[in-house]
Amino acid sequence: MNHTLLPAFLACAVSCTLCNTTAAQSTVTIFGLVDMGVGRLNDGTSGTVAPTGQLNRGPGLGAPSLGGSDQWSARQSTASRIGFRGVEDLGGGLKALFNIEHRFTPDDGIAGAPFWGGRSTVALQSSFGEVYLGRDYIPAFYIGINLDPWAYDLNVGALQTPYTLAGYSVTVERGVRTSNTVGYKTPSIGGFSAQLATGLGEGARKRVDGANLLYRQGPVYAGIATDRSDGDNNVVVAGVSYDFGVVRPMFITARTKALGRTTRSLGIGATMPIRSGVLKVAYGQQDQPGANDTTKKLGLGYEYFLSKRTSVHADAGTAKHPAFTRVAGFEAGMKHTF
C-alpha cells in the first residue's frame, strides 16, 4: 500500500508546488557568461596600478597582466560568471527580487572569492522605486561602465576605472562594490533616475557612501555621481553620450582624492555598428599631481556577433607614462552568454 500511495503523494506535492508558484508568479533565471582568448603583452613598464588608485608606474592598459612580460597567455577578456536572479510578484505592485552572481576564471577553473562576490542582493520593488540590501556596485560604477566602449571588460583596449573613475577604488573592497550595503533606486521619471547607497562599516571596514543622478531618454545618456570611503578617499565623476545610430560617441571625466593626493582623468570613446559587429575606439588620460606625470592610452577593438549570444573579438591597446617605457598588448577571443 505504501508503494501505491507514494507516487500519488509525490504527484500531489509537485502539483501543489506548481500551483503555489503560479499563484505567486515567481520566476528564477539562470544566467552567465564565459569568455576565453589568447593575448600578449610586451615588457613595457607603464602598466601597474596600486589598489588605492595611486600609481606605481602609471595606469597603463588598465587591465590585468596577460600572464607576464612579453609572453603569450590564455585569459578572459570579460569576467566570466554564473548567476541566479529571481522575481516574485507579491501583489499590489510590490515585488521581491534577489540576485546572486559568482565569478570564476575559465582558463584554470578557479572560483572567485568571495564566492558570490559579483553581486548578492535581496530587494523590494514598487512604483516608488527599489530598496536593496547586500553586496552591490557603488552608484558611480554605473556611469563608468556605460561610458567605456568595452563596458569595463578585462581588456587591453578598455578604459576601465583608471580612465573613467580616475583610479578610484573602495579601499577595503579593492574595487567598485561594497558589502553590507543598504541602497535605494528611484523609478525613472521623464528619463531621470537616482540612486543612494551606504556600505555599512563593520569590523575593519569603514562606511562607504555614494549617490548618482542619471538621465536616459532616447539617444541621450548622461550622469553624475560621487562616492566616499575611508574619509579622505572620494571620487566625483560625470559623463555623457549620444547615439546617432551610425556612431555613439561618449565622454567621461573624474576627480579622485586618495591619501591626500588628487588624480584627474578623462575618457573619450565611441562605438560604431559595422555589419554584424561593433567597432570600439577609446582614448584615456590620467593626470597625477606634479609635472610630467600624465599617462595616455589608446584602445581599438572589434566584436563580431555570430549570434545573439556568441561573439568573437580582437582588441589592442597601448599606454605611455613619461617616466616609463610604453606598454602595448593585443588579444583575440570568444564570448558566449546564456
DSSP secondary structure, 80-146, as one string: -EEEEEEEEEEETTEEEEEEEEEEEETTTTEEPSSTT-SEEEEEEEETTEEEEEEEEE-HHHHHHHH
In a domain, 216, yes or no: yes
In a domain, 190, yes or no: yes
In a domain, 14, yes or no: no
In a domain, 304, yes or no: yes
Q: Cell digits for 242?
A: 549620444
Of 136-145, 155-164, 226-235, 290-299, which has the strongest mean pLDDT?
A: 136-145
In a domain, 293, yes or no: yes
Report the b/e string of 242-276 with b at 16+ CB within 10 A.
eeeeeebbbbbbbbbbbeeeebebbbbbbbbeeee
Query: pLDDT tier at 302 (50, 70, 90 boundaries)?
Result: very high
Q: Based on the structure, what is the number of domains in the chain?
A: 1
Report the b/e string of 221-233 with b at 16+ CB within 10 A.
bbbbbbbbbbeeb
Element of type H or E holding 258:
strand 248-258
Instruction: Tell which residue, 303, 154, 159, has the closest CA to residue 237.
Output: 159
Residue count (the chain): 338
- Cα dihedral 87, 89, 92, 93 in deg (nearest 10): 30
Q: Cell digits for 127?
A: 512604483
Average the pLDDT over 34-41 and give the result.
93
Could you tell me the CATH number of the domain that includes residue 205? 2.40.160.10
In a domain, 61, yes or no: yes
Q: Are 118 and 175 in contact (CB under 8 A)?
A: no
As a whole number of angstroms, the distance between CA 180 and CA 186 comes to: 20
**Residue 86: CB partners within 8 Å, gap ≥ 6?**
26, 27, 28, 29, 97, 98, 99
- State pTM to two decimals: 0.85
pLDDT for position 59: 67
Of 14-28, 128-142, 252-266, which has the strongest mean pLDDT?
A: 128-142
Structural domain of 75 = 28-337
Quick: pLDDT tens for 172-227: 556 899 999 999 999 999 999 999 999 998 876 678 999 999 999 999 999 999 99
In a domain, 1, yes or no: no
Mean residue pLDDT of the chain comes to 86
As a whole number of angstroms, the distance between CA 88 and CA 251 comes to: 38
